[in-house]
Copies of this chain bind each other. A is one copy, B any other.
Amino acid sequence: MMMANRERLLLAARELFLEQGYDASVDAIIGRAEVARQTFYNHFKNKESLFAEVVRDCFLDVLAPLNGHTDNLQQSLMSFAEIYRQRVLNPESIAAYRILSGQALRFPDLVREVYALGTGQMTERLADFLRKAMDEGHIRHADPVFAAELLLAMAVGQERSQRLFGIPCREEDEQLKIKQVVDGFLRMFAS
């Protein structure tokens, strides 16, 4: 059962880090995991290494799928944008973003790594997809990375900031917003 305790610690730490940030104490974590102090240090070198492991997990959940077909751009991009928004705007992702950006000075390498695994990879994927669509003449030729970053930014709009800062968002028609964004994007890059 060695793994059971390790998993309990990871789960408890994930919850507490997301709630309280890196300041969540080791005492609190072992308390929630219902595990002895020594057990914690059997499984992890120190608090930092536990944090690194938790954070790596969290940010892999951001990756949104993108079907490779460029024949129906509007539909592909809309379903991509919808899933991306879900992944990126849910409370857990927001908390992870908050904590990670807050620790960017303390753990610069970890934070860069995790960003590369999440948003970085997502940008690359989308850029590849858009490059293909450009080559096939569905949209105008332009820097695909620029276009990808632009679409990602448009898809989340100000909502990430609002959620990060605890601003109550006016509820809106999710689908309509996504359609407006994608249609607008396609009009920007119409060939």
Contact = CB atoms under 8 A, between A and B. Distances in A.
Nearest to A170: B145
Contacts of A146: 177, 180
15 contacts: A19-B105, A99-B102, A100-B165, A101-B164, A102-B102, A104-B164, A104-B166, A115-B162, A115-B167, A116-B167, A119-B158, A119-B161, A146-B180, A150-B154, A150-B181
Interface in A80-137: 97-102, 104-105, 108, 111-112, 115-116, 119-120, 123
A22 to B, nearest CB: 10
A111 B189 CA distance: 37
Interface of A: 19-21, 97-102, 104-105, 108, 111-112, 115-116, 119-120, 123, 142, 146, 149-150, 152-154, 156-158, 161-162, 164-167, 177, 180-181, 184-185, 187-190
Given A120-B167, A154-B154, 5 more contacts: A19-B105, A20-B105, A98-B101, A101-B165, A152-B158
Nearest to A99: B102
Contact of A158 (B101, B149, B161): B149
Nearest to A188: B184
A150 B184 contact: yes
Number of copies of this kind of chain in the complex: 2
A188 B180 CA distance: 9
Given A98-B102, A104-B166, A165-B101, A153 B157 contact: yes
A108 B104 CA distance: 22
A116 B158 CA distance: 13
A149 B102 CA distance: 24
